[in-house]
Amino acid sequence: MHSPELLLTMYRKMVLARRFEEKAGQAYGQKKIQGFCHLYIGQEAVVVGINEAIRPDDMVMTGYRDHVHPLVRGSDAGMLMAELFGKDTGYSKGKGGSMHFFDIEHHFYGGYGIVGGQIPLAAGLAFASKYRNEDRITVCSFGDAASNQGAMHETFNMASKWKLPVLYVVENNKYGMGTDIARVSAEPDIHQRAVAWNMRGVSVDGMDVLKVHDTVKELAAYIRAGNGPVLLEAYTYRFRGHSMSDAATYRTKEEVEQERLRDPIVKLRELLLKNRSATEPQLDAIDEEVKKIVDDAISFADQSPEPPLEDVWTHGFVEEGEPDEKPRARVRGATDVKWPSYPTDFKVTWDLEPRDPPAATPIKKGAA
């Protein structure tokens, strides 16, 4: 059973994600955001379902469709929008932009612009957790098309062999840019490939936030218990093109309309009303509250200054004694920023590859 609080939180976060992306799309049309801009509209159930099923100190990373992953973790919407606007008040002071969001305070370790590039990195985060004997897990999302990168094969082999605590989530929205994943994949059911690395492969309806949540809840516990990585394939759909410059003519109107009937936000709203977890006015109030957050984010981004020109030269090499930037403290003057810190003195107890007594090689029948 899901508590009304959980359902309302998920509703609120999905609406926040949707409105944020709609406004980002509008700002792109006004040329306030430029470059590549990949919207998450339609896929919200995946990221929200995951987030409510893991711990706040679990680590998350994804590809370049990355606006919403930090947003639902609790990042400051105004500072995320400011990053899209290329402003000094953005999380990366305007150096990263749409494809490279980072919010370390909320354990969001980045948006990566090279397809599949985050897959090995996530294994590294998980390796560090296991190395220090922490019980945190890492959740790494990537798109369906990234599953054809060699990086995935190389990483899954290591992650599974070393039982690294990482959940890999394929956000399968059916298309790698304009190419139907089935056109270029010998096995388009991506989670089925997990068997090749001797790891669990699971699929879930990624348009149903409750199913995503419940599945990830179980998988997170499984991974946290030391059972190794899991590949979860969430079948989802983006309602917009690959990026803002994509008219998405490779899909039929009918297909998109059909998929829009599965809109995860509409579905959850209906459920909330049906099981009387919320009333219409309550949900409308959430919609209003979210609208204001996003409107404020836009005006904050709009009114923020561009980064100073001397910032061209900052954040190249870390100089000795140079601290890390804590964005919310820098921009908002926040004093409650909990920055991750790691021990420098500890004992490594993990025996990654125990030395078993050498097994006798069985002689095959008929061998010479």
Partner 1 sequence: MAELAYRDALKEALDEEMGRDPRVFLMGEEVARYNGAYKVSQGLLDKYGSARVVDAPISELGFAGLGVGAAMVGLRPVIEMMTWNFAILAMDQIVNSAAKLRHMSGGQLRCPIVFRGPGGAGGRLSSQHSQALEANYAHFPGLKVIAPGTAADAKGLLKSAIRDDNPVIFIEGELLYGQRSEVPAGEYVIPIGKADIKRPGSDVTVITWSRMLTACVLPAAEQLAAKGIKVEVLDLRTIKPFDQEAVAASVRKTNRVVIVEEGWPFASVGSELSDFIQRECFDDLDAPVRRVTGLEVNMAYAANLERAIQPSQERIIEAVNAVLYR
- Report the interface residues with partner 1, using CB under 8 A: 59, 90-96, 100, 102-104, 109-110, 112-114, 117, 119-132, 150-151, 154-155, 157-158, 161, 314-318, 320, 322, 324-327, 340-348, 350-355
Q: CB 7 → partner 1: shortest distance, Å?
A: 33
Q: Six-digit token pair at 162?
A: 């070393």
CB nearer to partner 1: pick between 11 and 142: 142
Residue 166 carries which side chain, given as an amino acid letter? V
| Three-class DSSP category at 102 | coil
Q: CB 318 → partner 1: shortest distance, Å?
A: 4
Are 101 and 83 in contact, with CB atoms under 8 Å apart? yes
CB nearer to partner 1: pick between 211 and 330: 330
Q: CB 324 → partner 1: shortest distance, Å?
A: 6
Q: CB 137 → partner 1: shortest distance, Å?
A: 13
| Residue 145: DSSP 8-state | G
Give a three-class secondary structure readout of 226-290.
HHCCEEEEEECCCCCCCCCCCCCCCCCHHHHHHHHCCCHHHHHHHHHHHCCCCCHHHHHHHHHHH
CB nearer to partner 1: pick between 128 and 271: 128
CB nearer to partner 1: pick between 76 and 103: 103
Distances (CA, A) of 146 to 44, 120, 165, 169, 283: 19, 12, 20, 11, 37
Q: CB 315 → partner 1: shortest distance, Å?
A: 4
Are 104 and 324 in contact, with CB atoms under 8 Å apart? yes
Strand partners of residue 150: none
Q: Six-digit token pair at 344?
A: 């420098």
CB nearer to partner 1: pick between 67 and 93: 93
Task: Report the C-alpha gap between 147 and 191 in whole angstroms.
Answer: 10
Q: CB 75 → partner 1: shortest distance, Å?
A: 12
CB nearer to partner 1: pick between 110 and 264: 110
